[in-house]
Amino acid sequence: MSPSVLENNALYQSIYSAINWVMPDFLDSIVGYAAAFAMVMLVANLVLVITPLFIWFERRILGRFQQRLGPNRWGPFGLLQPIADAIKLIIKEDIVPRGADRLVFNAAPVILFMPVMLMVAVIPFGTQFYLVDLNVAVLYIIAVGTLETIGIFMAGWASGNRYALMGAVRSVAMLVSYEVPLVMSLAAVLLWAGSMSLVEIVDKQPVPLILLQPLGFFVFIAATIAEMNRAPFDLIEAESEIVAGYHTEYSGMKFGVFQLAEFASVVVGAGFITAIFLKGAAGWSFLPSPAWFSLKWLAVIFCIIWIRATLPRVRVDQVMAFAWKFLLPLSAINLILVAVEMVIWPSPNGAQLWMIGLINFAVAAVAIAVLATALGHRNFAPRSPQIPTSTVVGEKVV
């Protein structure tokens, strides 16, 4: 019996026929399971292979941004550097602090890594190249993504270290805040596509959605970067403030798994941005669809690295203000704008699409400019250090 969810899955069908051809006849009953397992292995390992490549890519690109070379010793262009790093991490001593809650401490890296792998299931890597076409895919991504919080909290709490706990608390506060604009910006996409399935969202885009909902794209990419805990929102592991945040006490491969989960979440998140806002695997026919997906994916990943290389880390109070006072109003404006346009032009033709795009770009520019100037002076200006001058003056500061 093949599960109904796989009936229309071309990837599954091709793997099924390949395995059916290889397998001897008396094993026919398990071909379906073998094919499903092979498919899961293929897609899961795809991400596990891409993530080390991404780590190498990021380090090289960051090196370029900072006018140095980056890893270039082992393998061609230093491509084998992640493997060397992994071997180094594996042979390091595995330390569990004495005050730690041993069970939770050891489980945390696994719990943190699981949601990232679960999210891979719904990415459409090509027109017929996906694990499963869930009809609640977008909601599924958000739901599974929230589970990462629990992994981070477990790590921070079980370490028995104040810095780790502080990092975990920061992360929870941040993730909870950024969930709101993230969901609001996705709501506009769902309204537009009329479906929560990623495959259908890709199909329903006449042009890449970034051209029609620039404001939604801006909010989504900002909130996603915050959810990934990456610079400029990486204050849950701000080295200058709280050592390394929730994974301060971790060493060896457990630390490695944390790093892997973090980088994998960037890879997966960039995949979602590609699918939702860049029309996924669509493109001209001289390249196969997975190639188009990979190209767009690479572009998104490059932009995320670019943002990391350019912007300095924001302060704790700025992070909250950014989510609630800047991104949330923007996503609300976007949602209302898209809803109104959906009523006026239910099925837009070419000229109307141009109009929608132009209006939305204009509104995005105005809204961002107005909100940024209104909030900029109050929330993002550098604070003068608050030293009670009356007590310092006249006393000897030791």
Partner 1 sequence: MSVLTVAFWVLAVWGIASALMVVHTKDIFRAALFLVSTFIAVAGFFVILGAEFLAVVQVLVYAGGISVLIIFAVMFTREVAQGNQPNRYYGIGLLLGAALFLVLAFTVVSTNWFPEFHNTEEADAIARGAFSDSSGGLGALLREKFILPFELTAILLLAVLVGAVALVKER
User: Distance from CA of residue 46 to its chain's centroid?
Assistant: 16
Binders of partner 1 in range 163-192 (CB under 8 A) = 165, 169, 172, 176
Contact between 246 and partner 1 (CB under 8 A)? no
Out of 38, 86, 144, 359, the only residue in the binding site for partner 1 (CB under 8 A) is 144
Identify the CA nearest to 169 among candidates 147, 183, 154. Answer: 154
Among 134, 235, 301, 327, binds partner 1 (CB under 8 A): 134
Rounded CA-CA distance 27/127 in Å is 31
Helix 214-227 vs helix 289-310: crossing angle, to nearest 10? 70
Using CB under 8 A as the binding rule, whether residue 34 contacts partner 1 is answered as no
Q: Cis peptide leading into 288, omega within 30 of 0?
A: no
Amino acid at 173: A
Binding flag, residue 142, partner 1 (CB under 8 A): yes
For 47-90, what is the HEC assignment? HHHHHHHHHHHHHHHHHHHCCCCCCCCCCHHHCCHHHHHHHHHH
Tokens of 82: 């992640």
Q: Sign of the C-alpha dihedral, residues 178, 52, 48, 298?
A: positive
Q: Which stretch binds partner 1 (CB under 8 A): 79-87, 144-152, 298-306, 385-393?
A: 144-152
How many residues bind to partner 1 according to rule CB under 8 A?
Answer: 28
Residue 85 φ/ψ region, left for φ over 0, alpha for ψ in the -120 to 50 degree band, beta for the rest: alpha
| Residue 142 beta carbon to partner 1: minimum distance, rounded to whole angstroms | 6
Task: Dig out the tokens for 2 from the structure.
Answer: 């093949």
> Cα–Cα distance between 278 and 54 in angstroms, integer?
20
314 interacts with partner 1 by CB under 8 A: no
What is the smallest separation between the CB atom of 136 and partner 1, expressed in angstroms?
Answer: 5
State the nearest-atom distance from the C-beta of 87 to partner 1, in Å: 32
Q: Binding string to partner 1 for residues 203 to 232, with x set by CB under 8 A, is what?
A: ------------------------------
Please, which residue, 79 or 172, has the CB nearer to partner 1?
172
Which of the stretches 100-108, 119-127, 232-240, 353-361 binds partner 1 when contact is defined by CB under 8 A?
100-108
Please report whether residue 140 would count as binding partner 1 according to CB under 8 A: yes
In whole angstroms, the minimum distance from the beta carbon of 281 to partner 1 comes to 22
Told to check if 276 binds partner 1 by CB under 8 A, we report no
Contact between 147 and partner 1 per CB under 8 A: yes
Q: Is 13 in the site for partner 1 (CB under 8 A)?
A: no
Distance CA 123, CA 260 (A): 19
Q: Which has the closest alpha carbon to 361: 152, 213, 221, 196? A: 213
Binding segment for partner 1 among 21-29, 90-98, 151-159, 390-398 (CB under 8 A)? Answer: 151-159
Closer CB to partner 1, 196 or 304, in the complex: 196
Which strand (E) or helix (H) includes residue 184?
helix 162-193
State which of residues 112, 196, 225, 267 lies at the interface with partner 1 (CB under 8 A).
196
41, exposed or middle or buried, with CB in 10 Å at 0-12, 13-18, 19+? exposed
> In the complex with partner 1, which residue's Cβ is closer, 4 or 349?
4
Specify the residue, 172 or 309, whose C-beta has the smaller distance to partner 1. 172
Quickly count: other Cβ atoms within 10 Å of residue 111's Cβ: 18
- Work out which of 18, 27, 42, 136 binds partner 1, going by CB under 8 A: 136
Find residue 129's DSSP bridge partners.
126
Q: Rounded to the nearest whole angstrom, what is the least distance from the CB of residue 153 to partner 1 in the complex?
A: 5
The contact set with partner 1 (CB under 8 A) reads: 1, 3-5, 101, 103-104, 134-136, 139-140, 142-147, 149-150, 153-154, 157, 165, 169, 172, 176, 196
